[in-house]
Amino acid sequence: MNSTVTLSFAAMTAFAFNSLLCRLALGHNAIDPVSFTSIRLISGAATLIVLSTLIARRQETKAQTPNTSIPLKQSIALGATLFGYALLFSLAYITLDTGTGALILFGTVQFALIIHHRLTGHTLTLLEILGMFVAVSGFILLLLPGQLSHLGWERV
């Protein structure tokens, strides 16, 4: 198995476990969504600070690397966006079914990656277009039974 497949599998597994842990914490009213999101992001930020410090110290012994840090204003905007995203999903965890939430989350992330891919000048492959079609079809199938019941039609 190549490293891309392995890393993709690891990332998707981590996303799935993250969803289960979020649902476990929020589903049993163990903590409210705002506190949960705050603790989650603060602990994530602390972890990133520790990791970046360790990496920076390690790179000091090697050849100088270019400064790739982003401006403070952009960093604050990205942090606020991440907090909004995490808070909205924490709130959604207490009202959405697991499958619905996963479909929306994974679909949204995938579409964001494809949009970024296109904005950076890349063209979509046939496989990516097919993947988008399958994702949109799954979303339509998810919503279709509810829409049919509003029309008075029974699910077959």
* Each residue's pLDDT tens digit, 94-109: 777 767 777 777 777 7
What is d(CA 120, CA 114) in angstroms, rounded to the nearest whole number? 10
Q: What is the mean pLDDT of the chain?
A: 79
- CA dihedral 88→24→144→114, nearest 10 degrees, is 50
pTM here is 0.55
* Percentage above 70 pLDDT, the chain: 86
Tell me the pLDDT tens digit for each residue of 70-79: 788 888 888 8
Q: How far is CA 119 from CA 4, 21, 116, 149, in A?
A: 22, 34, 5, 39
Q: Measured in whole angstroms, how far is the alpha carbon of residue 59 from the centre of its chain?
A: 29
Distances (CA, A) of 153 to 96, 136, 137, 139, 146: 23, 22, 20, 19, 10
Residue 32, pLDDT above cutoff 60: yes
How sure is the predictor about 153, in pLDDT bands with cuts at 50, 70 and 90? low
Q: Which two tokens stand for residue 21?
A: 């842990």
Helix H, strand E, coil C: the string for 64-133 is CCCCCCCCHHHHHHHHHHHHHHHHHHHHHHCCCCHHHHHHHHHHHHHHHHHHHHHHCCCCCCHHHHHHHH
pLDDT in tens, 35-93: 888 888 888 888 888 888 888 777 766 666 566 677 888 888 888 888 888 888 788 77
Residue 10 scores a pLDDT above 80: yes
- Are the CB atoms for 83 and 41 separated by under 8 Å? yes
Q: How confident is the model at residue 144 (pLDDT cuts 50, 70, 90)?
A: confident
Residue 110 confidence (pLDDT): 77
What pLDDT is attached to residue 146?
A: 67
